[in-house]
């Protein structure tokens, strides 16, 4: 019996050892191929892609209907680099990359090939060397990618760019890459799409252009079509530009240092660079001596304060008009009440920007003008303001080159008669038979008439004595101020003898109701029913 029990024990021991060995073999199964990358999202980032390097909003691929782990994207790619990821919002995640860094993509495309996926270095990326429309197909089961060239990028229609402001920024400009110090271009008085400036540019540095002073780098920028488009004494190597956000951050490169006149056409998407002379080193401003400060470059100027109609509301600030012949002269006609005001350049609801201040607090404005014509421009510090003593309508002029302000009190025009004349009116330029306006019964400064006007010019006067052309006339504040079905291009007028013989220009014939306000120096023209 003992022998039988020993035999049974040996069998059981052998059986137990065999089972244990089998269990161990199950644990040692080896898989020598890549497992599928299971994800429902797939993205790309890079200056070659539509969203650029914005990891928070990368460009998404679309999962295939046949296989949810095959992702496809077809669209326009810029010249530049790219890589892919399965999660947005972090640069620490693993990225899908080419097996070799700098793998080029052009019209030849890429036959199906393997890719890699890892975080960290080396930061391998694909390089688009030819801008075009491509179809990318990533197979996350097989870890392969295929790139097919689809065709050329159709030239997009050029929609004219509407903006009041335009700036140059970059290492070539005096302000460098500091947005608040960017060089301002001035809008042309006759063509709202033309902007220009004179600026000293450094050699071997670059720049680009933008429209909104908001310290944002994700807004649209104007770029040359190709990288390192050059600017030299001979001009610019390619006059065309593009406007976009993200993508290829191409910039203009200055070859010859010097002073240039830069002109940008926002309708035709073209840029010109005219060499004006040797480079002028910018001089630092002396805050204690305003006349030594650099001219203030801006397209816009505003005043606000409790002396103005809308108080301290930045959005309701009064806007100035830049002079057609001098980009540093800004004028505004304003009905001011007792109180204070100051001026600023950028309508961005910011109280941390530069403001224009008098040299002393409560610098007075009276009927005789402003007590001190000098001003300073700074942020923070003493919040000095101008103080209006005599209420009324003023013509305020800021000279941003010489840091001076003028305030002309517009005395209400006292008269019982008012006339219009000109080849746009029924009686032409005859002072003896010009059109008479009717004085309002309740407001002696309001005069109006309803009259048929033809295409032509006109102005107004107080006397209709034949031959008296030396008297003061009422002129529009700008030359050839248009009158049409939409009204008057600019409601302001001036009252003077001699000088610029500005006239209103009727562009659309018709019956109009004309109203002159001789207290506030304004004029309106509306189509009569």
Q: Is residue 184 part of a domain?
A: yes
Q: What is the pLDDT of residue 285?
A: 47
Whether 320 and 342 map to the same domain: the answer is yes
Distance CA 116, CA 95 (A): 8
Closest CA to 282 of 175, 404, 402: 175
Higher per-residue confidence, 227 vs 98: 98
Q: Is residue 456 part of a domain?
A: yes
Domain count, the chain: 4
Give the domain extent around 523.
419-527
Whether 375 and 449 map to the same domain: the answer is no
Out of 277, 312, 329, pick the residue that ends a domain: 277
* Structure token digits, residue 400: 């941003």
Whether 173 and 259 map to the same domain: the answer is yes
Sheet containing 438-439, strands listed edge to edge, beginning at the edge strand earlier in sequence: 438-439, 446-453, 510-517, 522-527
Q: How confident is the model at residue 386 (pLDDT cuts 50, 70, 90)?
A: very high
Whether 176 and 264 map to the same domain: the answer is yes
Q: What is the pLDDT of residue 305?
A: 95
Note whether 357 and 383 are within 8 A (CB).
yes
Q: DSSP H helical segments within 346-398, as ranges?
A: none
Note whether 515 and 389 are within 8 A (CB).
no
Q: How confident is the model at residue 290 (pLDDT cuts 50, 70, 90)?
A: very low
Distance CA 26, CA 7 (A): 30
Distance CA 452, CA 465 (A): 23
Q: What is the pLDDT of residue 13?
A: 47
Across 155-161, average pLDDT: 83
Whether 55 and 129 map to the same domain: the answer is yes
Out of 387, 409, 431, pick the residue that ends a domain: 409
Whether 298 and 221 map to the same domain: the answer is no
Q: How confident is the model at residue 477 (pLDDT cuts 50, 70, 90)?
A: confident
Whether 515 and 463 map to the same domain: the answer is yes
Report the predicted TM-score, pTM, of the whole model to 2 decimal places.
Answer: 0.43
Q: What whole-number percentage of the chain has pLDDT above 70?
A: 91
Whether 199 and 294 map to the same domain: the answer is no
- Give all strands (DSSP E) within 225-348, no chain letters: 229-232, 235-236, 241-244, 252-254, 258-265, 270-277, 302-304, 318-319, 321-322, 329-336, 339-344
Contacts of 400 (CB under 8 A, 6+ apart): 295, 296, 298, 301, 328, 329, 330
Q: Is residue 518 part of a domain?
A: yes
Whether 384 and 442 map to the same domain: the answer is no
Q: Is residue 4 part of a domain?
A: no
For residue 27, pLDDT over 80 is answered with no
Distance of CA 82 to CAs 48, 49, 104, Å? 6, 7, 11
Whether 186 and 267 map to the same domain: the answer is yes
User: Where residue 509 sits, what CATH number does that domain have?
Assistant: 2.60.40.3620
Across 309-333, average pLDDT: 88
- What is the residue-averaged pLDDT of the chain? 88
Q: Is residue 308 part of a domain?
A: yes
Q: Is residue 285 part of a domain?
A: no
Whether 229 and 208 map to the same domain: the answer is yes
Q: Label residue 389 left, alpha or beta by phi (over 0 means left) and psi (-120 to 50 means alpha).
A: alpha
Q: Is residue 221 part of a domain?
A: yes
Out of 177-186, 255-264, 426-435, least confident range = 177-186
**Strands 392-399 vs 339-344: parallel, antiparallel or unpaired:** unpaired
Q: Is residue 197 part of a domain?
A: yes
Q: What is the pLDDT of residue 5?
A: 44
pLDDT tens-digit map of 350-371 = 788 899 999 989 999 998 889 9
Distance CA 66, CA 64 (A): 5
Q: What is the pLDDT of residue 12?
A: 52
Out of 227, 254, 277, pick the residue that ends a domain: 277
Across 484-498, average pLDDT: 89
Across 150-173, average pLDDT: 89
Dihedral angle of Cα 356, 359, 365, 369, to the nearest 10 degrees: -100
Whether 458 and 495 map to the same domain: the answer is yes
Q: What is the pLDDT of residue 81?
A: 95
């Amino acid at each position: 019996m003992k022998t039988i029990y020993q035999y049974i024990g040996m069998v059981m021991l052998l059986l137990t050892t065999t089972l244990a060995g089998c269990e161990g073999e199950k644990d040692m199964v080896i898989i020598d191929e890549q497992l599928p990358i299971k994800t429902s999202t797939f993205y790309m980032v890079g200056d070659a892609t539509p969203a650029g390097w914005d990891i928070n909003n990368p460009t998404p691929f679309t999962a295939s209907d046949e296989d949810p782990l095959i992702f496809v994207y077809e669209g326009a790619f810029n010249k530049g680099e790219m890589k892919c990821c399965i999660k947005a919002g972090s640069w620490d995640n693993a990225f899908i990359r080419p097996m070799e860094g700098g793998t080029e993509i052009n019209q030849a495309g890429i036959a199906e090939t393997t890719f890699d996926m890892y975080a960290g270095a080396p930061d391998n990326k694909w390089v688009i060397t030819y801008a075009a429309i491509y179809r990318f197909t990533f197979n996350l089961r097989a870890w392969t990618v295929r790139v097919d060239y689809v065709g050329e990028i159709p030239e997009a229609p050029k929609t004219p760019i509407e903006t009041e402001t335009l700036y140059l920024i970059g290492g070539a400009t005096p302000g460098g890459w500091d947005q608040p110090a960017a060089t301002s271009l001035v809008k042309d008085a006759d063509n709202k799409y033309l902007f220009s400036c004179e600026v000293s540019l450094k050699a071997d540095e670059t720049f680009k252009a933008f429209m909104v002073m908001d310290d944002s780098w994700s807004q649209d920028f104007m770029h040359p079509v190709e990288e390192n488009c050059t600017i030299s004494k001979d001009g610019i190597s390619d006059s065309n530009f593009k406007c976009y956000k993200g993508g290829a951050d191409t910039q203009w490169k200055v070859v010859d240092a010097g002073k240039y006149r830069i002109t940008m056409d926002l309708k035709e998407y073209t840029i010109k660079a005219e060499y004006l002379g040797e480079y002028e080193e910018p001089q630092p401003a002396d805050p204690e001596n305003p006349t030594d400060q650099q001219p203030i470059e801006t397209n816009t100027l505003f005043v606000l304060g409790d002396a103005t109609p809308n108080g301290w509301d930045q959005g309701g600030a009064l806007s100035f008009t830049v002079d057609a012949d001098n980009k540093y002269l800004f004028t505004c006609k304003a009905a001011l009440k007792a109180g204070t005001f100051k001026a600023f350049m950028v309508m961005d609801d910011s109280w941390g920007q530069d403001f224009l201040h008098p040299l002393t607090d409560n610098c007075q404005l009276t009927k005789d003008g402003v007590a001190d014509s000098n001003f300073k421009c700074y942020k923070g510090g003493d919040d000095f303001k101008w103080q209006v003593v005599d209420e009324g309508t003023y013509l305020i002029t800021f000279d941003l080159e010489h840091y001076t302000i003028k305030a002309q009190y517009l005395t209400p025009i006292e008269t019982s008669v008012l006339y219009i004349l000109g080849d746009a009116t029924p009686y032409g330029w005859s002072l003896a038979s010009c059109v008479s306006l009717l004085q309002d019964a309740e407001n002696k400064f309001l005069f109006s008439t309803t009259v048929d006007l033809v295409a032509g010019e006109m102005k107004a006067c107080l006397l209709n004595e034949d031959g008296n052309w030396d008297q003061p006339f009422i002129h529009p504040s700008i030359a050839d101020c248009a009158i049409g079905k939409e009204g008057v291009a600019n409601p302001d007028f001036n009252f003077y003898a001699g000088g610029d013989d500005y006239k209103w220009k009727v562009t659309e014939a018709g019956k109009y109701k004309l109203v002159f306000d001789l207290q506030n120096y304004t004029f309106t023209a509306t189509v009569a029913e």
